[in-house]
Structure 1
Amino acid sequence: MVVYFAFLLHIYQPPVQIAPVIKQIVNESYRPILNALRDHPKAKISLNINATLTEQLDDYGYQDIIEGISTLASRGQIDFTGSGKFHPLLPLIPEPEVLRQIKINNETNRKYFGSIYNPKGFFPPEMAISEEIFPAIKKLGFDWVISSGIANSLPEFPSTFISQHEKNGLNLVFRDDMISIDCAFDKINTVEAFANRLKYKNQDHDYYVILAMDGETFGHHVKHAIKNFLIPLFKALPNRNDIKLCTVSEIIEKFPKGSKQIPKASSWSTMPYDLDRKVPFPLWFDPNNPLHLEQHRMIMYALTTVHLAEKYHNGMDNDQKHLYTNARSFLDRGIHSCQQWWASKRPWYSPDMIIRGLSEIILASVNAKRSIPSTSKDILQAMDLIFKDMLIAQNKIIESL
């Protein structure tokens, strides 16, 4: 019996992150992980890097990280996944924005990583899925999508076969939530403890386990995790026959297709009691959290203003087109998921991060309004009404901090 397992590491920093934090994470996590892979040529991971982080790495002079990822990918040690560039919670935005975020993520990462960036799989930010996002993922040509284990709707957990989406045939893989969480929180931190945990089924047939977590777990959140766990694991694996490290794409190729399903709307932070109360995205859109409601309202207003401005793009002069481009850029940045996460109070709360995200949304709307030709009086009047409601929502957010 062999347990085939994969690490899917997700690395990302919000577009409003400050430079000293990125520097710290590069030194503690990204660079040591790449070094560990480089020093152990048989080690491999699946990697999601949101393209906003790729740009930040370039902007702050960490080209060695970009080059290191490219080299490892060319050696087959990194299996890329697609995602949304600015890390929005995809189920909370309309399909045109979902498509846009995925497309610009691909375009930006291909700019930096070249043709080696050709992901087969898709990592939804925060593993947040709903039925509404699968058509866009399928349309853009991805072969598989990963979700949290809680999303599985079959009576059995897929571990000997690959489940498929009932409607569009996308291959579905699910994170083993319990083992992933225990790794992330340093509860499994030796090679033998890890191997024994992977062999939890204690059966005579082969099966697979997919572990997914923030890449920053290793070295940044858990300081000793690379030196004391990841490197010893990479060193030991070539000499073991009971557990085999793969990429997620390799697991999908190895195991047969099985039962079809429609996964449950959820995220990798969703708990069973959240599903019981019909709140699939509790850290980003909890109807019982007034901050979440106003944040979502602000995002929807900003989306409306930018989409309205886009309709008048052909009638804009060069200055107005420049304002529209600014609006579009601020909106892309402003829909990142972190501002809602920091408003969840479960237990995370940061007025600073909430305000940073709110500022991007306001800048998007202001630039969108200013881009509209003065002859379009009806649309400008509509913008005025939207702005009045935005002010109310903004004041509620500020007053609640």
Structure 2
Amino acid sequence: MYWANFLHIYQPPTQKPYWIKRVSEESYWKIFRLFLENPRAKITMNISGILFELFEKNGQNDIIEMIKKLFDQGRLEVTGSAKYHPLLPFLPKQEIIRQIKLNEETLCHYLGKNFRPNGFFPPEMGFFPELSPILEELGYKWIIVDELSFPKQAAKQQYNRIYQASNAKDFSIFFRERKMSWVILSGQIGTGKLLLQSLGDRLKKNEYLITAMDGETFGHHRPGLEMLLFEIYNSNKIKNVKISELLDLFPQREEIEPQASTWALMEKDLEKKKPFARWQDDDNEIHKAQWELTKLAIDSVEKYESNSPEYQKARRSLDKALHSDQYWWASARPWWSIEMIELGAKELYESIISCPEMPEEIKEKAKKLYHKIVFTAFDWQRAGIIEKLSRSEDEEIRQRTDESLPRLPKKEVEKMVNRLKKEMKLVANRQEYERAAQVRDRIKELKKYSSEEKLEPSSEGNKEFNLNK
């Protein structure tokens, strides 16, 4: 069996220096150091162009150097993407292409002028069928998407062949396996030995496994989880490859018509034909106003294009303002942040008013939309709407996940806990008490997975991930 692991790392263009430094120390630095220390390990990653710039701006040049070293060694494959992490299904074609080319220019600056990516990661894994021919025109060979993009009407997905989009001549589609990705990132299986055991007879088959996760999960969101990756990498029971290598390893091809999805998609949203509900929901008044303002900004800035320095500044402002975070945090499913909502709306509004020769009526319309977004967000929060929406969504997630949390051998749990206790002591000695509390909570969580402990509800995973089946 071949294992191709994919990690996505990203921070929004407005991220504060404190968080760049913190996530770098807790996650990015550890991940890349461990890759350099494990010469057998290979990885395919999306490292967004804006994150490279934030690394440099915030004094994280050692991370850039580690990335470049791994890349030059041929053990790190970097995909293309959209520079500022916009949700591509809702952008016009010219904006999609612009974001992709901006990202390529930035990656060439940091990885070398001859850098040319084969693969593509759409932000939020937000795929729609019309994206495939656009990427093929730009020279890409493949895209990674969630397995819910696999068409239901097709025969069961096989992992001994490569699938190709029916609307692109020679363009491949790789599907992230939700089950194993969730099992790893949720921490439900905390050692490489147990994870490999869960694959059973599949390990002996000539097929591939693709996992895909946010890189920040390892070390930042879940202290100590970065060690799990390298227990898997160090195993001789599974062959580690980069995604592009699968194209040669599996010559059989099959044409399909993939459907729209994201990696945060829930099946209930797919049934309602709302694959992007966390970013664009017609029942969400804030979303509707956000996208109206987004469209106004794109149309207006494009219409009044010029070569003036003022216009170029407004254009760059719009590029950054298209990031997907603002819509995600307005979903209340269950994630919510008035700060992110306001900041995103303000960026879009300012890209309009800073554009030279922009008519006053357009500026006034943008201002009203900005106010509508912010005031509606405050009204929802005061009226208890957010609490109701968040609780409903969070309870549903819990119901889907808790019944089948895997029961881990006590010996394996103790191994993980002892490792984390050492880390907790280390960070406490450095007076990083907030971090020590995070590690403490992770230890408490792991103990719930012991086969000798009564399992309590958790918000991670899915009941279909019962590894005993």
TM-score (ref. length: structure 1): 0.90
After superposition, residues 268-307 of structure 1 pair within 5 angstroms as 268-307=263-302
Distance 1:203 1:214 in 2: 25
Give 1:185 deviation, angstroms. 1.1
Give 1:116 deviation, angstroms. 6.2
The equivalent of 1:185 in structure 2 is 186
Is residue 352–residue 366 contact of structure 2 (8 Å, CA) maintained in 1?
A: no
The CA RMSD over aligned residues, in Å, is 1.5
The equivalent of 1:166 in structure 2 is 166
The equivalent of 1:375 in structure 2 is none
State the one-letter code of the partner of 1:157.
Q
The equivalent of 1:336 in structure 2 is 323
Give 1:391 deviation, angstroms. 3.0
Give 1:291 deviation, angstroms. 1.1
1:261 matched to 2:261? no
The equivalent of 1:37 in structure 2 is 35
After superposition, residues 2-401 of structure 1 pair within 5 angstroms as 3-115=1-113, 117-153=115-151, 154-168=154-168, 169-199=170-200, 202=202, 205-227=205-227, 229-234=228-233, 236-237=234-235, 240=236, 242-310=237-305, 313=306, 321-368=308-355, 371-372=356-357, 383-401=359-377
Distance 1:204 1:72 in 2: 29
Distance 1:204 1:110 in 2: 39
Give 1:253 deviation, angstroms. 2.0
Q: 1:203 to 1:113 in 2, by over 3 A?
A: closer
- 1:171-210 residue CA offsets vs partner (Å, 9 max, x unmatched): 01000012111211111221122112334x6485311110
Is residue 160–residue 252 contact of structure 2 (8 Å, CA) maintained in 1?
A: no
Kindly indicate whether structure 1 or structure 2 has the higher relative contact order, using CA contacts under 8 Å at least 6 residues apart: 1
Give 1:139 deviation, angstroms. 1.2
The equivalent of 2:381 in structure 1 is none
Distance 2:294 2:266 in 1: 25
The equivalent of 1:317 in structure 2 is none
The equivalent of 1:376 in structure 2 is none
State the one-letter code of the partner of 2:294.
I
TM-score (ref. length: structure 2): 0.77
- 1:295-354 residue CA offsets vs partner (Å, 9 max, x unmatched): 1111100001110111xx26xxxxxx1110111111011000001111111111001011
Distance 1:161 1:249 in 2: 13
Identity %: 36
Is residue 158–residue 174 contact of structure 1 (8 Å, CA) maintained in 2?
A: no
Distance 2:203 2:210 in 1: 18
Distance 1:259 1:123 in 2: 21
Give 1:393 deviation, angstroms. 2.0
- 1:4-60 residue CA offsets vs partner (Å, 9 max, x unmatched): 111100000001110100101100111111110111111010010110111000111
Q: Which runs of 4+ in 1 moved over 6 A?
A: none
Q: What SS does the aligned partner of 1:145 have? A: strand
The equivalent of 2:431 in structure 1 is none
- 1:104-157 residue CA offsets vs partner (Å, 9 max, x unmatched): 100011101114632110000011011232222111101000100100113211
State the one-letter code of the partner of 1:161.
R
Deviates more, 1:269-278 or 1:20-29: 269-278
